[in-house]
Amino acid sequence: MRGVGLCIAPFFLLLSIVALALLISYIVKSQDLPPLIPSASIITSVVVGIWTGAYIWRMDVEAPRDEPIRFNRLRRKVYVYRFHRNGLRPFSRTAWGIRAEVYDWDDLRAEACSVYGPMGSGGLIETVTLAVVKPGTRQVIDRFHFAHEIQQGEMYWAMAQLFMQQGPHALPTFPRPPRDWNNETVTFNLARRLAPKVRWPAEIDRESRTAP
């Protein structure tokens, strides 16, 4: 779906401009403010249009090309490259952006979720997240996305457990090298072209690749 937002966002911006132009035109012609309900409707349209357009645009353009997770067996740490956004603050600089977070492997639990979403006649949405629990308890203090389907999540989680418990020799042999989203050639999708590449902070990049 990435790239659709670049087409939708200008529509909301145009809607806001048209609504604002209508309000200004009425005031200039009549030399008076319009009635309360039409005024409130126009102002609401302007605010919602700008708000929604900004959010959709930033979601399409500022989200990174990938959100990788690194597992360090020797440190027993998991490094997560996460994109944070806030729908209530679409113009904020601090509420949006990349954060590299570090968790203890022993504090992670895989959670599978299956729900029916509002997709026309209904549709099954599956996802697997990793929950971070408070050490020594079952209290969840954070969650992050792991896989889009339960079957895929089970496979990824099994490979992560094999790697962390036995090492890389326990993993299956893959016929192809892992996909590098940073070096992917994107021809037509403008949103993918504008999306920032994955760049780990230098300290986290070094730590996640080395032993204690």
**pTM for this predicted structure:** 0.83
Please choose, from the candidates 188, 46, 174, 66, the residue with its C-alpha nearest in 3D space to the C-alpha of residue 38: 46
Sequence ranges of the domains in the chain: 4-61, 69-166+188-206
- Look at residue 157 in the predicted model and tell me its pLDDT: 96
pLDDT of residue 17: 87
Q: Which pLDDT tens digits describe the chain residue by residue (212 residues)?
A: 778 888 888 888 888 888 888 888 888 888 777 777 777 888 888 888 899 999 999 998 899 999 999 999 999 999 999 999 998 899 998 899 999 999 999 999 999 988 877 665 567 788 999 999 999 899 999 999 999 899 999 999 999 999 999 999 999 888 988 888 888 766 677 888 888 999 999 999 999 999 99
Token representation of residue 120: 């026309």
Q: Are 111 and 128 in contact (CB under 8 A)?
A: yes
How far, in Å, CA of 138 to CA of 191, rounded? 40
Angle, helices 36-61 vs 4-30, to 10°: value is 150
Instruction: Tell me if residue 112 falls in helix, strand or coil.
Output: strand
Summarize the chain as % helix, strand, coil (round to 5).
45, 25, 35
- 204 contacts 111 by C-beta, under 8 angstroms: no
- pLDDT (0 to 100) of residue 186: 62
Contacting residues for 89 by C-beta, under 8 A, at least 6 apart: 95, 96
